[in-house]
Amino acid sequence: MAILSFADLVNECTKQNKSIYEIAQEQESILLEDTIDVVRLRVLEDLLAMKEAVKNGLHSTEKSISGWCGDDCVKLPQRFNKKGALFGKTFEKIITYALATAEENLRMGRIAACPTAGSCGIVPSVIIAVSEEEKILEAEQINGLLTAGFIGLLISNKVQLAGAVAGCQAECGVASAMAAGALCQMLGGNTSQIIQASSLALKNILGLTCDPVCGLVEVPCIKRNPFLAVHAVTAAELALCGVESKIPMDEIVDTLKITGQLMSPLLKETSLGGLAKTKTAQELEKKLFNKKV
C-alpha cells in the first residue's frame, strides 16, 4: 500500500500492528532494494553526523560573513556552569545543541539537513540531548530518527519544505513536528500519541515567515532552532499526557500549504520584507554589500 498521508499511516500501523519507525524502515528498504539492517546503518550514519556537528559547533567561535553570528553557543555553558537553567539540564542541552548545530551550518560545516539546512539544529538537539539525559539506547535513537524522517516525508508529499515556497513554517515548523514525533517515539509513545505530538507542534507554528536578514541563513534563522526545539518538547509532553489536536494532522498539513500560498512573496525567503527590511538590517546590508537600500 502506498502511504501518502497520515491517515494512511495510521491505517497501515493498525493493520500490521507495527510502529511508525517499523513502517518507515520497511518502506525505505523497498525503495533502496536493500535490507532493513542496511537502512538502519544509513540512519545511524546520519545520527553520528548530527552528533559530530553538535561537538564541532560547541567548540567554535568562528564568525559568519555578517559578523553577527557564530559565537553565541559558547555563551550558554558559561552561564549554565555557574547557574543552571530554570528548566534543568535537559533544557540546557537542547538549546545549546540546537544553537551549536545551526552555527556549524553557517560556517559551512558538515550537518544533516532535517528537513533543511536552516532548520538543522532542531531534530538533532532533541534526540541527542534527551538521549544523553534519559540514557536512551542508540537503537531507540535510530527509531526516533526514522519516525522523524517519515513524518517529514509525509508532509513533503503535499508541500515543498522550503522557505521560498511556504515560509519558515515549512522549515523550522516542520522540523519541530518531526522532533516532537521522534521524542514521543523515544519516550514510549504509541502511534496516536506520536502523530498528536507532531500535529500540536505544527499547528501552533503555522504562519511563521521566512525573512532572513541580508539573504543570509543567520538572522533570525539560527536562533529559531533552539526556540523550535523546545516547542517540539512541549508538543511531545502534551501528547504523552493524552492531549490531542482537535484538527487532524492531514488537515493541518493542508493548512500549512494554503497558508504558504496566502503568504506574501516578501515574506518567503526574498529578504524583501519582515525583519530583513528593518532599519538595522538595511544598514548591515549596505555595509556588507555596498548596496543602496
- The answer to whether 116 and 176 are in contact (CB under 8 A) is no
Distance CA 209, CA 260 (A): 9
pLDDT at position 291 is 61
Domain boundaries, the chain: 18-289
Nearest Cα neighbor of 148 from 219, 18, 236, 207 is: 236
Distance CA 231, CA 44 (A): 25
Fold of 18-289: 2-methylcitrate dehydratase PrpD (1.10.4100)
Per-residue pLDDT in tens (0 to 9) along the chain, 293 residues: 689 999 999 999 999 999 999 999 999 999 999 999 999 999 999 999 999 999 999 999 999 888 999 999 999 999 999 999 999 999 999 999 999 999 999 999 999 999 999 999 999 999 999 999 999 999 999 999 999 999 999 999 999 999 999 999 999 999 999 999 999 999 999 999 999 999 999 999 999 999 999 999 999 999 999 999 999 999 999 999 999 999 999 999 999 999 999 999 999 999 999 999 999 999 999 999 986 55
Contacts of 68 (CB under 8 A, 6+ apart): 218, 219, 284
- Spell 26-40 as b/e; 16+ CB within 10 A means b: ebbbeeeeeeeeebb
- 117 phi-psi bin (left φ>0, alpha ψ -120 to 50, beta other): alpha
Please report where in the chains the cell 490531542 appears, as a residue: 244
Distance CA 126, CA 147 (A): 13
Helix, strand or coil, per DSSP, at residue 22 = helix
Taking only Cα atoms into account, the Rg of the chain, rounded to an integer number of angstroms, comes to 19
pLDDT at position 65 is 83
- The answer to whether 123 and 175 are in contact (CB under 8 A) is yes
Contacts of 13 (CB under 8 A, 6+ apart): 19, 20, 23, 191
pLDDT at position 1 is 66
Helix, strand or coil, per DSSP, at residue 268 = strand
Tell me the three cell numbers of residue 169: 513554517
pLDDT at position 252 is 98
The DSSP-derived string for 145-200 is HHHHHHHHHHHHTTS---HHHH-GGGTHHHHHHHHHHHHHHHTT--HHHHHHHHHH
Tell me the three cell numbers of residue 274: 519582515
pTM of the complete model: 0.97
**CA pseudo-torsion sign 45, 47, 50, 51:** negative
